[in-house]
Amino acid sequence: SFRIGTRPTVAVMASPARAREAAIAAAVFAHHPGLAGPVDDGLPAPLEGGDVLVLDGRRVLVGVGARSTAAAVEHLAGRLLADGTAEEVVAVPLPRDRAVMHLDTVITMVDVDLCTGFPPVLATTRAARLRRGAGGGVRVDTVDDLAAYLGVEVVPTGGDAAGQAREQWSDANNVVALAPRVVVAYDRNVATNDRLVAAGVEVITVPSSELGRGRGGPHCMTCPVGRRPL
């Protein structure tokens, strides 16, 4: 699942083996006394929570790749733009590469003005920006420089080209912020963690020798259930 604005959305998983996870999430949102309330569902095709990044109070990035489809992103964008939850939805094409499973393996927010990012993807990706058009329609244009579009400082994956590839495989950019500039990260990604610390971020490390084998990092294993307005 994922949350944009005040309402959660139950994801549609790309793998049938993970369908039960979405069913369990739906049950939690429906019955937990602290979470019960309106839930959005009905996505027409796979779209997983790891591909959704709330950039700020008006912009949402959604990855399109092996786990999330363009059809689902278009459906989500139409809903967010129609009800005013977002002013812009940016569809970010991702390489169909095991090292780039979701958008949150490439970029995660560390603060409102700081993120981590994997340079080879940020430098080469041409994304599609969706905004409300005339008559309630959707207009689309191209974002040629994704890093510039973000409008925040980017802490790049640490190391030289080989080191960056290695730490990308180890989910170096998949950190979860507990508070502004306080993150949980895998201990094995030393070079990236050092760069975060140099940028003024407190890094709380957790062991990763076994967790990393399943792909995904601290951000993959969490889901916000509440968010202060940005």
- Which entry of 53, 191, 220, 230 is annotated as an active-site residue? 220
Q: What is the pLDDT of residues 167-209, one digit of tens each?
A: 999 999 999 999 999 999 999 999 999 999 999 999 999 998 7
DSSP-assigned beta bridge partners for residue 142: 128
Q: DSSP letter string over 157-190? A: PSSSHHHHHHHHHTTTT--EEEETTEEEEETT-H
Per the annotation, the verdict on 220 as an active-site residue is: yes
In the structure, what pLDDT confidence band is assigned to residue 55 with cuts at 50, 70 and 90?
Answer: very high
Q: CB-based burial of residue 45 (10 Å sphere; 0-12 exposed, 13-18 middle, 19+ buried)?
A: middle
Taking the model in full, what pTM does it have?
0.91
Q: What is the pLDDT of residues 129-168, one digit of tens each?
A: 999 987 778 899 999 999 999 999 999 999 999 999 999 9
φ, ψ for residue 67, nearest 5 deg: -110, -20
Q: Does position 61 have pLDDT exceeding 80, yes or no?
A: yes
Q: What pLDDT, on the 0 to 100 scale, is given for residue 227?
A: 66
